[in-house]
Structures are given as structure tokens and as C-alpha cells.
């Protein structure tokens, strides 16, 4: 991988990885920024080991998902996750209640267990089931059932 | 917001994030620097461990047959316990860093759980052994310290030795407790993933 190719990858995937990490850590931008940078440090350090026949996006998401999961080993932040820092919103239909809704959504996502949180964040970001299955390492059938359950739980939490 | 589609639509309303992160150039430079630092760190730790072990062996071979055998053994036990502990932590860290994040979540969780299990087994064996070795070495040295220093200083050494031992025991206890908590958490994550 050349430096130019890395820069392209960085531009394309930084927002996606950042959003995944931010969702995982309950809206905490600081932790999300740290982890996202770590992910790309890893990508650059290990790009030689990347198999060309694999999907680079899947590879990056795998690193990101595992970095988020193992962050707990680095620091006991599980109970310190903040929902104070919320994302900016872009939409003409934006109203003040959007902030509250987003805050509630982040809080509901934070209530899910680790792996379910990662899965639903990838669903929210529009990844296909086949891609998520490859990242997580479970069969598509299992994933389908899981996602159905997570969607139900998240919707119930957000609407109450 | 009544359906999951509403939630997804809301998620999509967020701006493309522009975090205050380093630029790609800085990330690449940081990655290369990290790699070099890791290698340097590894080499220097190995050098320190080798030199310390060398000094201990040299000391034992030079003074081992002299009159103060208990002093030699005592010192050796104390130093050996520390080397054992540092070595264990260092190799443990290296082994953890070898768990590659570029794997499926399932495989990464499996590798981490297996690493933590190994660490827990070693922790329950190596830690008491090194503490025992340290205490034994210290106790063996006490009569010689008493004979060589004033009474006040002797009590100071004894007191500070006990305080240090309690301090390190508390740190190790908390570390083990944290690792057990982490282990349970990882196992729970794995079970949930496979449900």
C-alpha cells in the first residue's frame, strides 16, 4: 500500500470508523478519536499482511470492532462512558427535539451488550448482512436472528 | 419514532464527523515511530533483564561460597522474585500484543479469553511464588541487617519493608481482581455473541 492509497482509505473510512466507535462508547468523541487513530495506525503498520482478495473495508471494520471491544482491557471506562457529547445534526427538518432523540438513542445503544452494540452500529451505518457476518465471524442466519432481536430491543427502548 | 427505520433515519441525520484527529501523514509517521519504539523497548527490556540476571549469577558465583551464604541467598531470592515478576508482566504484554485485531470479532474474543485464562493460571502460581520468595529473602537478610546497622535504622528497614510488601500486595490484588472482572466480561460478550 502506498502513502497515497492509505490517504484515500483514511478519507473514506475515518468517518465510518469514528461513528462506529462513538456509538460504541455512548457518544464519547474523545475515546472515539483515540480508538479511530489507533485503528489507522494498525492499518498502516499491518497493511503488508492484508490479503488482497479480502475486502479492505471488512478488514478495517474488523480492526475497529476489536479495538473497541478490547478497549476495556486498556482502561476501565465502561462505567465512565459519557453521553454528553452529541453529534452535530444536518438536515433541514432539524428541530430541538432531534438532540433529545439522538441522546436517547445513544443511551439505548449503550445499554446493549458489547457485541450487539457493534452489530447494530454496523447495521445503522448501512453495512450488508454478509459484510457484518464476515466482520463478526458468525453465520448470516445467526446474524439475521440476532439483528432482529437487537432491532426490537432498541426500538422498544427508544420509543418508551 | 415508532419503528427501527425511524431510528436509522435519525442516525443518518448526523453530520459526517470531522474529529480533531491527526492527518494521514501524521498517522503514518506515528505508526512507523511506534513500531521502532516497540522494537527499542523490547531490546532494552531484554538487555536490562539479561544484565540483572548476569549480575545475580556473578554475585552468587563470587560470594556464594563465602561466610555470608544466607546474605547471598536472601539477596538472590529478593532479586529473583522481582525479575520473575517483571519478566512475567513483560512477556505477558508481548503475548497480548500478538493477539491480532485484524481478525473476526469471534476469533479475537476467543484469543483474548484464552490469553486471560493463561494469565490467570500463571497469576495464581507466579504471584504467590514471587511474593513468598521476596519475603523469605527479606527475612533471611534481617539478622545481618540488625548486626550491621543501628537499632533505629533496623526498625526503619523492617517497617518500610513490611509497608512496601503490603503496598505491592494491594496493587497485585487489585490487578487480579480487575483481570477477573475483565475475564467475566469477555466471557459474557462471547456468550452473547454466540447466542
Q: From CA B106, how far away is CA B84, in angstroms rounded? A: 33
Of B1, B4, B103, the CB nearest to A101: B1
Is the distance from CB of B189 to CB of A115 less than 8 angstroms? yes
Which residue, among A145, A89, A75, A78, has the nearest Cα to A111 in the 3D structure? Answer: A78
Residue B121 has pLDDT above 60, yes or no: yes
Give the least confident one: A68-82, A90-104, B79-93.
Answer: A68-82
Is the distance from CB of A105 to CB of B11 less than 8 angstroms? yes
Q: Hey, are the CB atoms on B101 and A42 less than 8 Å from each other?
A: yes
Q: From CA B63, how far away is CA B69, in angstroms rounded? A: 8
Is the distance from CB of A148 to CB of A114 less than 8 angstroms? no
The string of DSSP letters for B82-118 reads HHHHHHHHHHHHHHHHTS-SSS-HHHHHHHHHHHHHH
Is the distance from CB of B22 to CB of A37 less than 8 angstroms? yes
pLDDT for position A76 = 46
The continuous run of DSSP H or E covering A69 comes out as: helix A56-74
pTM, two decimals, is 0.75
Average pLDDT for chain B: 82
Helix intervals (H) in chain B? 4-12, 24-63, 69-97, 105-148, 151-194
Which residue, among B52, B96, B81, has the nearest Cα to B141 in the 3D structure? Answer: B81
Average pLDDT over residues A17-37: 89
pLDDT for position B22 = 65
Average pLDDT over residues B87-96: 79
Q: From CA A141, how far away is CA A3, in angstroms rounded? A: 39
Residues facing residue A82 across a β-bridge: none
Q: Hey, are the CB atoms on A155 and B8 less than 8 Å from each other?
A: no
Q: Among residues of chain B, what percentage have pLDDT more than 90? A: 10
Average pLDDT over residues A129-153: 92
Average pLDDT over residues B101-130: 85
Look up residue A49 and give its DSSP letter: G
Q: Which residues of chain A have a CB within 8 Å of the CB of B13?
A: 89-91, 94, 98, 102
Give the least confident one: A67-71, A149-153, B100-104.
Answer: B100-104
Nearest chain B residue (CA) to A136: B105
pLDDT for position A88 = 47
Angle between helices B105-148 and B69-97 (to 10 degrees): 160
Give the least confident one: A12-16, A32-36, A116-120, B99-103.
Answer: B99-103
Q: Hey, are the CB atoms on B195 and A146 less than 8 Å from each other?
A: yes
Q: Hey, are the CB atoms on B101 and A70 less than 8 Å from each other?
A: yes
Is the distance from CB of B183 to CB of B120 less than 8 angstroms? yes
ipTM of the complex: 0.79
Amino acid at each position: 500500500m502506498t502513502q497515497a492509497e492509505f490517504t484515500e482509505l483514511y478519507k473514506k473510512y475515518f468517518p465510518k470508523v469514528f461513528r462506529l466507535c462513538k456509538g460504541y462508547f455512548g457518544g464519547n468523541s474523545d475515546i472515539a478519536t483515540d480508538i479511530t487513530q489507533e485503528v489507522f495506525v494498525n492499518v498502516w503498520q499491518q497493511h503488508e499482511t492484508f490479503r488482497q482478495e479480502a475486502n479492505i473495508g471488512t478488514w478495517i471494520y474488523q480492526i475497529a470492532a476489536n479495538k473497541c471491544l478490547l478497549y476495556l482491557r486498556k482502561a476501565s471506562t465502561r462505567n465512565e462512558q459519557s453521553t454528553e457529547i452529541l453529534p452535530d445534526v444536518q438536515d433541514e427538518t432539524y428541530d430541538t427535539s432531534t438532540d433529545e432523540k439522538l441522546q436517547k438513542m445513544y443511551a439505548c445503544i449503550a445499554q446493549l451488550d458489547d457485541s450487539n452494540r457493534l452489530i447494530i452500529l454496523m447495521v445503522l451505518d448501512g453495512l450488508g448482512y454478509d459484510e457484518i457476518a464476515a466482520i463478526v465471524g458468525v453465520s448470516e442466519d445467526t446474524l439475521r436472528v440476532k439483528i432482529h432481536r437487537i432491532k426490537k430491543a432498541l426500538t422498544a427502548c427508544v420509543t418508551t | 419514532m415508532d419503528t427501527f427505520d425511524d431510528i436509522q433515519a435519525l442516525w443518518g441525520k448526523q453530520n459526517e464527523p470531522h474529529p480533531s484527529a491527526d492527518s494521514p501523514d501524521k498517522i503514518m509517521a506515528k505508526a512507523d515511530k511506534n513500531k521502532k519504539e516497540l522494537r527499542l523497548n523490547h531490546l532494552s527490556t531484554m538487555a536490562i533483564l539479561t544484565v540483572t540476571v548476569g549480575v545475580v549469577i556473578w554475585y552468587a558465583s563470587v560470594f556464594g561460597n563465602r561466610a555470608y551464604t544466607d546474605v547471598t541467598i536472601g539477596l538472590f531470592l529478593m532479586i529473583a522474585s522481582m525479575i520473575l515478576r517483571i519478566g512475567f508482566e513483560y512477556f505477558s504484554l508481548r503475548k497480548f500484543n500478538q493477539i491480532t485485531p485484524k481478525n473476526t470479532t469471534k476469533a479475537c474474543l476467543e484469543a483474548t479469553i484464552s490469553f486471560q485464562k493463561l494469565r490467570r493460571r500463571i497469576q495464581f502460581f507466579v504471584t504467590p511464588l514471587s511474593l513468598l520468595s521476596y519475603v523469605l529473602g527479606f527475612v533471611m537478610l534481617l539478622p545481618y541487617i540488625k548486626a550491621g546497622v543501628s537499632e533505629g535504622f533496623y526498625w526503619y528497614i523492617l517497617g518500610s519493608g513490611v509497608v512496601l510488601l503490603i503496598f505491592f500486595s494491594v496493587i497485585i490484588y487489585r490487578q487480579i481482581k480487575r483481570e477477573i472482572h475483565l475475564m467475566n466480561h469477555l466471557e459474557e460478550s462471547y456468550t452473547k455473541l454466540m447466542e
